[in-house]
Structure 1
Amino acid sequence: MNSEIRSLEPKALWNKFADLNAVPRASKKEARVIAFMKAFGNNLGLEVIEDEVGNVIIKKPATAGMEDRETIVMQSHLDMVHQKNTDTNFDFETQGIEMYIDGDWVRAKGTTLGADNGLGVATIMAVLESKAIVHPAIEALFTIDEETGMTGAMGLKGGVLSGGILLNLDTEEDDEIGVGCAGGIDVTATRAYKEEETPEFKTGYEIRVKGLQGGHSGMDIHKGLGNANKIMNRLLFDGFENFGLRISEIDGGSLRNAIPRESSAIVAIDTLHDAVFNAEMSALAEIIKTELKTLEPDLEIVVSKTETPEKIMDLGVQEGMTRALYAAINGVYRMSADIPDLVETSNNVARVIVKEGEIKIGCLTRSSVDSSKMDLANTLRATFELTGCEVEFSGDYPGWTPNMDASILKVLSNLYEKINGEKAHVAACHAGLECGILGSNYPEMEMISFGPTIRGAHSPDERASISSAQKYWKFVLEILKNIPKK
């Protein structure tokens, strides 16, 4: 399968992507890909630096005649989101991504593809390796842990880089030039609870929510996609209100930056309510599927009998938790008043775990306005604290404020229109790019973001457009030739 990918044009880009995708590279587990990148740079005879947090910097001199141009930083992140379908047998720790071609798209077999941000990394690798591409002096910056905290960007110290322009290759629409992004903060609610012995005459059930699209919790948050944690809580709340349903376990969602696709729960109900409970759950499941049928045609809600659990949650804690999850804001909180169609502030109720006397609820709150980000984070904090949870804020990172007067923006805008015969869409995005963080230590550096078209990032539906990659590659080559003089 991957041999098909290597035959795609531009071969330089797709071959490097295939090389990279053979290396497991989960966030916070980047040791192998760091070693891979260092070996790549050393084999080219280039200067290679690994900083104290694990970022890799590879420096390449300008080609002949380009020595008077501004040094550029080409930047992408090494880590990728590891997600797979439940019926996919795949070990991210040991296996490389299995890719295939589907019309104009490159996909992976039941897993995330790693195009986010692997196509950016592969682009830089191809430029570093080439002896024919015209370019100014390059500082290639490969950051770690972008997807779960941006600790690589946060750990990069000032003075390591000398470039005056940064090209971030992490935008997912090929007609878009990114000039700003949202900041984010992790909101985590935890609480211990007493487990009770399950009374007699109870029947055990497993409830499963699956088949949702999922997606990027920033770029896709405005689409109104189903959130498995919110759907599950709706089912549990209804089951308790009508039948005294008691919760034993919940396992919903996965990563904070991925809209939850699946959730499962083990519950117990009075045996005498067996038939009517099944009927009520089936009816409610059909209502939810009807509500979401346009956006989530593959949604499944399965309620099936299972072994009656030995333990259930303390009743008071269960009531408080399900009410808090119902009240917790999920999705778009506020649209930007300044930039049309831009989500300003949002939240993703990303992870819900209830097991063995411990509750953990994880959210990712994003905003391009820091005060609005903290307002929503405090709204969530108050919601969960009212139920007795302890709430922690962590992983706070800033947004990237647009600079509409940047010289590199003018270069890219003019080149895009010249090449494609139409204007690019200059925009801020609701994702978390590393530019805002990097700018805190390099405030004089001009920054811009662009990339090829990618769909379904952070989900097993992730796919990269082949024709867009060709368009993007041509754009990259023209940009490198047209970097302004110092």
Structure 2
Amino acid sequence: MSKEIRQLEPKALWNKFADLNAVPRPSKKEERVIKFMKDFGHSLDLETIEDEVGNVIICKPATSGMEDRKPIVMQSHLDMVHQKNNDTEFDFDTQGIDMYVDGDWVKAKGTTLGADNGLGVATIMAILESDSIAHPDLEALFTIDEETGMTGAKGLKGGLLHGEILLNLDTEEDDEIGVGCAGGVDVTATRDYKEEDTPEIKLGYAIEVKGLQGGHSGMQIHEGLGNANKFMNRLLFDGFEKFGLRISEIDGGSLRNAIPRESKAIVAIDAVHESKFITEIKAHAEIIKTEFKTMEPDLEVLISKTETPEKIMELGVQEGITRALYAACNGVYRMSPDIPDLVETSNNIARVIVRDGQIKIGCLIRSSVESTKQDLANTLCATFELTGCEVELSGDYPGWAPNMDSAILKVMVPIYEQLNKGEQPHVAACHAGLECGILGTNYPDMDMISFGPNIKGAHSPDERAQISSAQKYWEFVLEILKHIPKKH
């Protein structure tokens, strides 16, 4: 696996990526990768510290001739999203990522690749290790838990860093220079319900939605990808009136920041309506497939007879929750009126769990405008509260307001144009959560920018990194480091 990857150019980058991907690094479980990074810093005899929350900072003095340049911070996050296909046997807690080369792309076998944000981490590691790459005073900041709450960035105290410019390496389009991003908030709706004994006249069936692409719930929310939780709710809606359908269990989606690819429900139906149930569910599934045939060509809806469940959800709660899920906003809520083609506010209905007398629905709202974020949060709260749920808002983090007068932006744009035969970069804000907005709360005077190589399908098992783009990006990084502005 890693031998093939290690032969790719630039070798300094891909070798460090292979080293990193051998270390399990799920969000909230970063102990091993924190130790790995600290050991790396110590092996280079560089000042290496771990802060109170687990962020790692490695400091490297300026190379000869660069001492008069502004000190910089290069930043990436250590954790990665863990997603795998249902038919892939893989333990993220113990195994390294199994990578392979497919043409111009590096992919993983049935799992997420970890290029988000592993290629950024590997870039910084390669620069720290090099004795030939020119750079000013450098603080390498490796944050934790970016994917599930940004607690690393939130916990980083002011005064630890002394850099004047921050290069965030967490953008996924190589022609884009990021100058802003969305903030976010988690919306979690819960309620208890009474379980009832399943009547003897009922038959058990399993309904499974699978084969969806999934993807990044920020960067891809505008693409019209299917949401397995929404699809499942369409199939279950009004099922009681048609065939006496009663819900026993639902398990849909996985991570808050991933568009749900799969959902499974266990239901009980009236035996007398069995034939009608199968016919109508299949017909409804075909309608959904037709609607999404362009975006979701591999969508499957499977219906299979199963053991009749012992318990079912009380009917009033079932009717209320299916209607609430139908009413709840999913996808784009508002486009930006100021920045062309930018999603301003969106929601991802990420997780739906119905089991053992408890309902839990998890959503992630993203927005570059705080007031609109709160407006959508109120909309979701009202929707779920009307059906008896308690709703909690958590994990709120700020957006990053664009600064079009950024000094480092004025350096990077002409470098990009020079390297790419006059092509202009796309200077933009993104509809994803970058750590810049949070870091800026304790470092308000730091000039921040974000960029990176082409990464597609992040947060899904289809995640892939483009080899030719990594070469383009690496050259860009090296030129930026050479041209950091001088100190005042």
Matched, 1:75 2:70: no
CA distance in 1, matches of 2:329, 2:69: 48
Q: For residue 442 of structure 2, what is the aligned residue in structure 1? A: 441
Give the RMSD, CA atoms, in angstroms: 0.5
Matched AA of 1:393: L
CA distance in 1, matches of 2:429, 2:240: 43
Q: For residue 175 of structure 2, what is the aligned residue in structure 1? A: 175
CA distance in 1, matches of 2:13, 2:62: 20
Give the SS at the match of 2:449. Answer: strand
Larger mean Cα displacement after TM superposition, 238-247 or 354-363: 238-247
Matched AA of 1:18: A
Give the SS at the match of 2:333. Answer: strand
**8 A Cα contact 2:243 2:274, kept in partner:** no
CA distance in 2, matches of 1:105, 1:207: 35
TM-superposed deviation, 1:242: 1.5
TM-superposed deviation, 1:446: 0.2
CA distance in 2, matches of 1:183, 1:241: 41
> What fraction of aligned residue pairs are identical, expressed as a percent?
81
Q: For residue 104 of structure 2, what is the aligned residue in structure 1? A: 104
Matched AA of 1:354: V
Q: For residue 85 of structure 2, what is the aligned residue in structure 1? A: 85
Matched AA of 1:371: S
Q: For residue 480 of structure 1, what is the aligned residue in structure 2? A: 481
Q: For residue 300 of structure 1, what is the aligned residue in structure 2? A: 300
Matched, 1:400 2:400: yes
TM-superposed deviation, 1:239: 2.2
Matched AA of 2:39: A
Q: TM-score, normalised by structure 2?
A: 0.99
TM-superposed deviation, 1:241: 3.5
CA distance in 1, matches of 2:213, 2:239: 25
- Stretches (4+) displaced over 6 A: none
TM-superposed deviation, 1:46: 0.1
Q: TM-score, normalised by structure 1?
A: 1.00
Q: Deviations over 1:243-280 (max 9, x none)?
A: 12100000000000000000000000000101111000
Give the SS at the match of 2:237. Answer: helix
**8 A Cα contact 2:20 2:118, kept in partner:** yes
**8 A Cα contact 2:248 2:313, kept in partner:** yes
CA distance in 2, matches of 1:467, 1:174: 10
CA distance in 1, matches of 2:91, 2:154: 30
Matched, 1:16 2:16: yes
Q: For residue 311 of structure 1, what is the aligned residue in structure 2? A: 311
TM-superposed deviation, 1:2: 1.8
CA distance in 1, matches of 2:241, 2:296: 26
Matched, 1:467 2:458: no
TM-superposed deviation, 1:240: 2.7
Give the SS at the match of 1:431. Answer: coil
Q: For residue 325 of structure 1, what is the aligned residue in structure 2? A: 325
CA distance in 1, matches of 2:135, 2:239: 63
What stretches of structure 1 of length at least 5 have no aligned partner? none
Matched AA of 2:12: A
The alignment covers a number of residue pairs equal to 486
CA distance in 2, matches of 1:55, 1:12: 23
CA distance in 2, matches of 1:319, 1:156: 45
Matched AA of 2:480: I
Q: Deviations over 1:101-154 (max 9, x none)?
A: 011000000000000000000000000000010000100000000000000000
Q: For residue 372 of structure 1, what is the aligned residue in structure 2? A: 372
TM-superposed deviation, 1:201: 1.2
Q: For residue 42 of structure 1, what is the aligned residue in structure 2? A: 42
Q: Deviations over 1:174-207 (max 9, x none)?
A: 0000000000000000000000000011100000
Matched AA of 1:408: I
The within-5 A match list for 1:356-367 is: 356-367=356-367
Give the SS at the match of 1:325. Answer: helix
Matched AA of 1:483: I
Q: For residue 193 of structure 2, what is the aligned residue in structure 1? A: 193
CA distance in 2, matches of 1:454, 1:14: 14
**8 A Cα contact 2:41 2:58, kept in partner:** yes
Matched, 1:427 2:428: yes
TM-superposed deviation, 1:238: 4.0
Matched AA of 1:457: A
Give the SS at the match of 2:350. Answer: strand
